[in-house]
């Protein structure tokens, strides 16, 4: 142990300049940054975004903007697939601003409950510090989105559009955190002065009213009821009494002045045939609640899923279920639960789901080996597409187990599997991934993810129960969950709300 010797640093600098490879690498990186300089052009151009198994209807690519709602977008993108099938439409989008409103409201309620429960702790208590630091973050997990659907319902995006604060949440979050931390200080001061449970609860109630008001100012008031009006396909599986036939907007009309003769009749006949082929129905359902909308038009059980993770390591044994403490954002909601299984279990469950036409929520450390900003290969996640070792002239490789042990990787971003390419043995070669950064990001909003990249930097899928083997389902249902603190290495690997 000791300080850096200045002479040693001079020697290193002198030696660096004598190597031509160092000079070439320096010139490349300083002019174009690391990822662009490291990209392997010959290797990158061999990747093809064609998939033997692919979801037919995926809808328009969504955009979470400058917010931490990837988990919500991923879950809503899975749920909307069932709605698009029900309505026989090629795209549909739920309101993420509606989900965000109630997510923040629930998080505020849970945070204040925890502040009251920890009122006797000192200011430097680690649990209290975690609650105050992360209680109102944007982040979350799939199960949180499912709880929001089950309790509050859903609405179409046009019933509660995005706002400046939902698109860029930092300024709103700063004021929410200030409001809640001010209430926390007030609650703790009252507790020290001898206040009872009733007085503390009253202080919480007062703050919750302010939280609702602030959210309404930032996101708009969530609709209590709304009128659903949407064009649906002829195969829509909805109440026929709520349907009205319509013609496409570009369908021929009754004819124009000056038309006549056989040409007029022929045009009308052709127009009628095309109109019948392309006809749509207008679905009108007036004055419905968000819960009623979810029940009628989202044929999707929010409790019918299993959350599988792959976290290898001696301290992270297989077939272990984990529950992260202090991470229930909804009082009375679903306790978080993560079942640790080998990678092949995650892969085969995801493949079974995709073959059945059901998209899969997934999580990964998305910025690892990701040349996001380069123009020629903007949507490729692969472990052999970047020659970082060659660029720097050193070994940077690490096993997934080592990376988890030293916190080099964690599940930072939620996306959606929409397709997979399989080899002759039925093993994945590459995954088609729907992102939530808009259609102009990555490659038309999608990522090509090699199977090896997902095995190295992925590590979580959320799939419906029917796609999970019986023995794994039994573990999911019956294995007693191990409680872990939010600062534990397991929680860090899961990317707990950070």
* 8 A C-beta contact, residue 373 and residue 35: yes
The mean pLDDT value for 466-473 works out to 98
Q: Give the pLDDT band (50/70/90) at residue 497.
A: low
Percent of the chain with pLDDT over 90: 85
Q: Which of 82-91, 306-315, 368-377, 409-418 has the lowest mean pLDDT?
A: 368-377
Helices (H) then strands (E): counts for the chain: 19, 14
For the chain, give the number of residues: 498
Q: pLDDT tens digit string along 34-79?
A: 998 999 888 888 888 889 999 988 899 999 999 999 999 999 999 9
For the range 28-35, what are the long-range contacts, defined as Cβ-Cβ under 8 Å and sequence gap of 24 or more? 28/391, 29/391, 33/373, 34/388, 34/391, 35/370, 35/371, 35/372, 35/373, 35/374, 35/386
DSSP state of 375: S
List of residues 6+ apart from 133 with CB closer than 8 A: none
Q: What are phi and psi of 8, to 5 degrees?
A: -60, -45
pLDDT at 150: 96
How many of the other CB atoms lie within 10 Å of CB of 46?
A: 10
11-35 confidence digits (pLDDT tens): 999 999 999 999 999 999 999 999 9
pLDDT band at 371 (very low <50, low <70, confident <90, very high): confident
Residue 97: other Cβ atoms inside 10 A: 23
Q: Is the pLDDT of residue 258 over 90?
A: no
The model's confidence at residue 305, banded by pLDDT at 50, 70 and 90, is: very high
Are the CB atoms for 34 and 374 separated by under 8 Å?
Answer: no
Query: Which residues, in sequence order, are CB contacts of 344 under 8 Å at separation 6+?
Result: none
What percent of the chain is predicted at pLDDT more than 70? 93
Residues 6+ apart with CB under 8 A from 410: 365, 492, 493, 494, 495, 498
Give 256 or 354, the one with higher predicted confidence.
Answer: 354
Secondary structure of 272-300 in the HEC alphabet?
A: HHHHHHHCEEEEEEEEECHHHHHHHHCCC
pTM of the model: 0.91
* Per-residue confidence band for 498, with pLDDT thresholds at 50, 70 and 90: very low
| Nearest C-alpha neighbor of 282 from the set 231, 227, 240, 228 | 231
Q: Half-sphere exposure (CA, 13 Å, Cβ side) for 309?
A: 28
Q: How confident is the model at residue 248 (pLDDT cuts 50, 70, 90)?
A: low
Beta strands at 482-484 and 320-324: parallel, antiparallel or unpaired: parallel
DSSP SS3 for 418: strand
The reported pLDDT for the residue numbered 358 is 96
Residue 239 in contact with residue 283, Cβ under 8 Å? Answer: no
- Please tell me the predicted confidence (pLDDT) of residue 496: 55
Q: Torsion angle of alpha carbons 320, 324, 330, 334, nearest 10°?
A: 10
């Amino acid at each position: 142990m000791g300080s850096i010797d200045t002479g040693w640093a001079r020697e290193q600098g002198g030696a660096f300049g004598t190597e031509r490879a160092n000079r070439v690498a320096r010139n490349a990186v300083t002019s174009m940054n690391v990822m662009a300089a490291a990209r392997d052009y010959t290797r990158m151009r061999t990747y093809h975004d064609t998939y033997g198994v692919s979801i037919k209807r995926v809808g328009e690519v969504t955009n979470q903007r400058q917010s931490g709602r990837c988990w919500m977008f991923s879950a809503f993108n899975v749920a909307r697939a069932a709605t698009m099938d029900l309505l026989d439409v090629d795209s549909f989008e739920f309101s993420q601003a509606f989900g965000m409103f109630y997510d923040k409201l629930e998080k505020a309620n849970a945070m204040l409950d925890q502040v009251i429960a920890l009122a006797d702790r000192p200011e430097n208590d680690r649990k209290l510090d975690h609650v105050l630091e992360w209680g109102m973050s944007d982040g979350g997990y799939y199960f949180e989105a499912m709880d929001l659907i089950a309790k509050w319902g859903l609405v179409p995006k046009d019933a509660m559009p995005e706002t400046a604060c939902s698109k860029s949440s930092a300024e709103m979050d700063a004021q929410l955190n200030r409001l809640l931390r001010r209430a926390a200080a007030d609650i703790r001061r009252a507790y020290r002065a001898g206040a009872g449970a009733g007085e503390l609860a009253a202080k919480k109630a007062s703050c919750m009213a302010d939280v609702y008001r602030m959210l309404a100012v930032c996101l708009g008031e969530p609709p209590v009821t709304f009128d659903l009006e949407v064009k649906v396909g002829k195969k829509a599986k909805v109440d026929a009494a709520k349907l009205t036939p319509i013609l496409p907007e570009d369908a021929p009309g009754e004819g124009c002045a000056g038309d006549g003769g056989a040409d007029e009749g022929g045009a009308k006949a052709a127009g009628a045939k095309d109109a019948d082929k392309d006809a749509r129905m207008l679905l009108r359902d007036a004055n419905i609640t968000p819960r009623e909308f979810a029940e009628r038009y989202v044929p999707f059980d929010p409790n019918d899923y299993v959350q599988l993770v792959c976290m290898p390591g001696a301290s992270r044994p297989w077939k272990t279920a984990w529950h992260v403490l202090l991470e229930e954002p909804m009082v009375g909601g679903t306790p978080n639960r993560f079942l640790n299984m080998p990678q092949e279990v995650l892969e085969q469950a995801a493949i079974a789901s995709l073959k059945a036409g059901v998209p899969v929520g997934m999580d990964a450390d998305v910025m690892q080996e990701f040349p996001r900003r380069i123009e020629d290969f903007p949507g490729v996640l692969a472990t052999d597409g970047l020659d970082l070792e060659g660029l720097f002239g050193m070994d940077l490789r690490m096993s997934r187990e080592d990376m988890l042990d030293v916190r080099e990787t964690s599940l930072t971003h939620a996306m959606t599997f929409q397709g997979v390419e399989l080899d002759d043995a039925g093993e994945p070669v590459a995954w088609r991934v729907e992102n939530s950064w808009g259609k102009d990001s990555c490659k038309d909003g999608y990522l090509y993810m090699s199977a090896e990249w997902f095995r190295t930097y992925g590590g979580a899928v959320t799939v419906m129960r029917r796609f999970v083997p019986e023995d794994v389902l039994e573990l999911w249902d019956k294995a007693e969950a191990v409680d872990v603190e939010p600062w534990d290495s397991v929680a860090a690997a899961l990317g707990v709300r950070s």
